[in-house]
């Protein structure tokens, strides 16, 4: 129980890094009542990070998907007593969070959000929806949080642990996310399209970047950037639900595959030869997608018509680094393109592509 009574905590005690640690798992509703944040140890809460995690939690619950968190880390400050093989948090005491502040805040925010939704549904007389939301609230309150509770850390050791955990942590490798992430619509779309095109396009399925020695044409990560640019016209990182412009949801996979298949009609046959051509460059591939998007939006044409216009580029462009179309990023000293994937460079490349398409339409040789 929580409050003026001792809280019983099941678990096992171990020694880690010379410190005594209790490893346990309790439901979030219980945890929420017995922990605090010490601002002398923790950094200030980032509302945007909390929101992003909250949205992830709510989306997972709504879609009936499991979501996974790594163990939370706490310090008990000597307030946990071992009695008869069990552990008790002394009355009125708290656990102090070292790692998991944003996740716990996002879970609390999710509960508040769901309770507001449930109340609104009840007031609108939609008791079926209210019951569904109530079930999600129950899921979240009973979510099993795995914890490591350090029993006797000093404040200085708490601060050091917080620093070490956040300095050494790294996010999941983008290549792994592209292979296994099931929640991002663009990632799923790219994997499906890549499976269809793998043999004819020779796609790098694991690494994020192509090495100098690589003979691959593109990567899953770059393909995702291309599709975001193609459908939404944005060159920034995409978060949240996709917005497929000028396209029915059922047509999206067809359009996506058609865009990449168009490359064989745009690029030279030896497009993979990095020493001679720029076709494997991220900035060039994304610029093609952005050009197609600009054509559909600016001229009110279909993606199919836009892809046909892209094919005109093979009559105007050599696809060599020193082609006039790439003058804005060509480095004469090295004979290579510089900063080709920056937003500014891509936008300037799109302008050049559009000029070349217009010139070909009018029968002008650039």
pLDDT at 285 over 80: yes
Pair 65, 210 in one domain? no
Give the DSSP H or E segment for 204: strand 203-204
Do 262 and 195 have their domain in common?
yes
Please check whether residues 330 and 302 belong to one and the same domain: yes
Res 2 pLDDT > 60: no
**pLDDT reported for residue 65:** 84
| Structural domains in the chain (count) | 2
Q: Is the pLDDT of residue 366 over 60?
A: no
Residue 209's domain spans which residues? 174-361
- For residue 180, tell me if it sits in a domain: yes
Same domain, 128 and 183: no
Span of 87-96, 181-190, 298-307 with lowest mean pLDDT: 181-190
DSSP helix/strand/coil, 147: strand
pLDDT the model gives residue 232: 95
Spatial CB neighbours of 198, under 8 Å, sequence gap ≥ 6: 205
Distance of CA 176 to the CA centre of its chain: 11
In a domain, 366, yes or no: no
Q: What is the DSSP-derived secondary structure letter of residue 152?
A: S
Among 211, 204, 215, 214, which Cα is nearest to 174's? 204
CB atoms within 10 A of CB 181: 14
**Alpha helix locations (H) across the chain?**
28-34, 47-62, 101-123, 127-141, 155-168, 174-180, 185-201, 220-232, 252-261, 263-266, 282-299, 303-310, 313-316, 343-361
Q: Which of 168, 187, 215 is where one domain is finished?
A: 168
- Identify whether 1 is part of a domain: no
* Cα Rg of the chain, angstroms: 27
Two tokens at 172? Answer: 């999941």
CB 52 within 8 A of CB 239: yes
What dihedral do alpha carbons 149, 151, 157, 161 form, nearest 10°?
-10
Tokens of 53: 């995690």
Tokens of 309: 């216009």
What's the confidence (pLDDT) of residue 234? 92
Least confident of 32-36, 163-167, 207-211: 207-211
pLDDT at 1: 46
Given a contact cutoff of 8 angstroms between Cβ atoms, the answer to whether 306 and 262 are in contact is no
Q: Choose between 161 and 230: higher pLDDT.
A: 230
Q: What distance in Å separates the CA atoms of residue 244 and residue 230, rounded to the nearest whole number?
A: 9
**Is residue 304 classed as helix, strand or coil in its secondary structure?**
helix
Angle at 54 between CA 53 and CA 60, to 5 degrees: 90
Q: Are residues 289 and 304 in the same domain?
A: yes
Average pLDDT, the chain: 88
Residue-wise pLDDT tens digits, 129-184: 999 999 999 999 999 999 999 999 998 898 888 888 876 555 555 655 666 666 78
pLDDT at residue 35 greater than cutoff 60: yes
**Which region among 94-103, 211-220, 300-309, 332-341 has the lowest average model confidence (pLDDT)?**
211-220
- Domain check: are 64 and 103 in the same one? yes
Contact 303, 245 (CB under 8 A): no
Place of tokens 């790098």: 204
Do 231 and 100 belong to one domain? Answer: no
* Residues 353 and 294: beta-carbon distance below 8 Å: no
**Rounded-to-integer distance, Cα 45 and Cα 24, Å:** 25
- Angle at CA of residue 79, ends 76 and 82, nearest 5°: 100
**For the segment 57-81, what is each residue's pLDDT rounded down to a tens digit?**
998 898 888 888 989 999 999 999 8
Q: Is residue 78 part of a domain?
A: yes
């Amino acid at each position: 129980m929580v409050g003026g009574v001792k809280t019983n905590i099941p678990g096992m005690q171990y020694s880690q890094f010379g410190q005594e640690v209790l490893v346990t798992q309790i439901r979030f509703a219980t945890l929420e009542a017995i922990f605090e944040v010490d601002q002398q140890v923790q950094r200030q809460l980032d509302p945007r990070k909390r929101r992003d995690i909250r949205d992830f939690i709510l989306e997972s619950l709504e879609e009936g998907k499991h979501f996974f968190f790594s163990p939370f880390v706490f310090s008990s400050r000597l307030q946990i007593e071992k009695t008869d093989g069990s552990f008790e948090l002394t009355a009125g005491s708290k656990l102090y969070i070292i790692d998991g502040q944003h996740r716990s805040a996002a879970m609390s925010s999710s509960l508040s959000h769901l309770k507001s939704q449930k109340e609104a549904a009840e007031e609108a007389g939609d008791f079926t929806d209210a019951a569904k939301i109530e079930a999600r609230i129950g899921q979240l309150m009973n979510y099993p949080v795995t914890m490591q509770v350090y029993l006797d850390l000093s404040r200085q050791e708490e601060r050091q642990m917080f620093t070490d955990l956040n300095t050494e942590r790294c996010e999941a490798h983008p290549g792994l996310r592209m292979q296994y992430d099931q929640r991002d619509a663009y990632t799923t779309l790219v994997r499906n399209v890549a499976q269809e095109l793998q043999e004819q396009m020779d796609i790098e399925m694991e690494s994020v970047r192509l090495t100098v020695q690589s003979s691959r044409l593109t990567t899953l990560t770059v393909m995702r950037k291309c599709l975001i640019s193609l459908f939404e016209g944005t060159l920034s990182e995409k978060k949240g639900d996709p917005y497929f412009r000028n396209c029915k949801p059922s047509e999206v996979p067809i359009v996506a595959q058609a865009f990449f298949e168009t490359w064989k009609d745009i690029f030279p046959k030896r497009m993979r030869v990095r020493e001679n051509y720029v076709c494997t460059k991220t900035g060039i591939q994304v610029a093609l997608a952005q050009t197609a998007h600009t054509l559909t939006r600016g001229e009110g044409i279909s993606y199919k018509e836009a892809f046909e216009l892209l094919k005109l580029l093979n009559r105007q462009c050599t696809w060599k680094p020193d082609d006039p179309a790439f003058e804005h990023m060509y480095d004469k000293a090295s004979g290579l393109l510089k900063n080709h994937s920056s937003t500014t460079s891509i936008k300037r490349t799109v302008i050049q592509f559009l000029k070349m398409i217009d010139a070909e339409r009018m029968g002008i040789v650039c």
